[in-house]
Amino acid sequence: MTKLTLLAGLGLLLTLQIVASTKLVCYMANWAQYRPGNGKFTPENVDPFLCTHVIYSLATISPKNELTTIEYNDEIMYKSLNDLKNVNPQLKTMLSVGGTVNGISPFIKMVSTPETRKAFIRSAMLFLRAHNFDGLDIDWEYPGHNGSPPEDKQRFTTFIKELRLAIEQEAVDLKKTPFVLSCRVAAFTSTIENAYEIAAVSGLLDFLSIMTHEYHGHWDPVTGHNSPLYRSSFDSGNDVDMNINASVTYWLNGGAPADRVLVGFPTYGRTFTLKTADTGLGAPANGPAGAGPYTRDAGYWSYYEICPMESSATLGWIEEQKVPYAVQGNAWVGYDNRESFAAKVQWLNSMNLGGASVYTLDLDDFAGRFCYQGAYPLVTHLRNSLGFPPKPTTTPGPTTTADPLSSFCAGKPDGLYPNPADETTYFQCFRGNTYLQKCQPGLVFVDSCKCCDWP
């Protein structure tokens, strides 16, 4: 545990206690609801026991500098997502804000004056409480870039300081748990240098997710992997830093606490159209391969669009970078699989980092319809590799203290029910599925309060 002391605007001294813990933070995209057929994804597809945090992406900033929705049904989906905390009370949900309005980031205007920052912060506190979120994720790509003036680097730090102070004060005023504050941040070293005051910003965040999954893509003239762990022998010039190891090292050397740094794990791959018979890393390319049938966006394929072709495509492994690729016809795709996720986790643990950030849940085989590896094969493997305990599951068979009948919850409303065979456990019903939960050691389940308490 580290202490961070901030000087509040009214001369108050505020001490924040930030606990280091391993996290599995998973993003979900609100636009995934528009994918056809089996690609459609809504909060009902979220496994409430898979990730420690689920971040709903994306909200935006209104012309009045207030936090606001983007999609017509965002508020309905907010409720669906946050209702999952009735199933798993340990789950944290967050709202990500960012995007562009007419091609320009709304952060640029919002951070420009104390008054506009105050308007946003006040609206954000009210919005998050109203919709039962546990925190806010800042997704500005990036301060000092894409029309953002150089001084936004310092304004961003000021904004995060003011936001952190407001979060702590609001929690005191309402006697509530403070909101979690996080940020998606750049992976390219040149961008990081011009966008962030690393030590100041990272010290104010509960965690930061480095976007270590967009290093290469169809904008390059040759094939390259979008999320390599290390540099390759093909890399020269600026490309030597286009890898996870270089990005994370830069953040750490700049003063980011290791236990607040999360590595980005993509559940998609970047595609290229090959120009010649060369099919390896660094092969000449000419733009993206065709769009996937579900994601329908040229340049990338979801994992569930990639895995069915693994049986027919030519598969390769880039040993230097610990990542796979596949070639089918003149289409080349660099992607991640369970083997590359395991290699990245081993490296992540060696660096004592805070955990992993998945982008996104809806691009994994979330319903297990395509890869024949069960639901969420990539994220489940990532969870297991990080060493999280097994998820509670439905278990068919005879009723014992360890194995509830899968039919126990059939026809029952969602909620908590005592286990007559073992008072230290209880049944949790969710959408007709039965989950066996255990109380903390020494506690028993009390039906009157639907809670675990001392006997």
Predicted confidence (pLDDT) at residue 13 exceeds the cutoff of 70:
no
**Tens-digit pLDDT profile for residues 327-353:** 999 999 999 999 999 999 999 999 999
Predicted confidence (pLDDT) at residue 16 exceeds the cutoff of 70:
no
Tell me what the mean pLDDT of segment 62-90 comes to: 97
More confident site: 310 or 1: 310
Confidence tier at 5 by pLDDT (50, 70, 90): very low
Question: Please, what is the average pLDDT of the chain?
Answer: 91
- What's the predicted TM-score (pTM) here? 0.84
Confidence tier at 2 by pLDDT (50, 70, 90): very low
**Running DSSP on this structure, what letter comes out for residue 104?**
B
**Tens-digit pLDDT profile for residues 242-281:** 999 999 999 999 999 999 999 999 999 999 999 999 999 9
Tell me what the mean pLDDT of segment 51-64 comes to: 98
Confidence tier at 451 by pLDDT (50, 70, 90): confident
| DSSP code per residue over 38-85 | GG---GGG--TTT-SEEEEEEEEE-TTS-EE--STTHHHHHHHHHGGG
Which residue type is seen at 197?
E
Please report, to the nearest 10 degrees, the dihedral formed by the alpha carbons of residues 204, 209, 211, 212 taken in order: 120
Confidence tier at 198 by pLDDT (50, 70, 90): very high
Predicted confidence (pLDDT) at residue 6 exceeds the cutoff of 50:
no
Which residue type is seen at 160?
I
**What's the pLDDT score for residue 390?**
82
Query: Among 80-89, 112-121, 425-434, where is mean pLDDT lowest?
Result: 425-434
Residue 160 tokens read as: 């995060």
Q: Is 197 a catalytic residue?
A: no
User: Annotated catalytic residue: which of 141, 162, 214, 305?
Assistant: 141
**What's the pLDDT score for residue 410?**
81
What are φ and ψ of residue 8, in 5° steps?
-75, 160
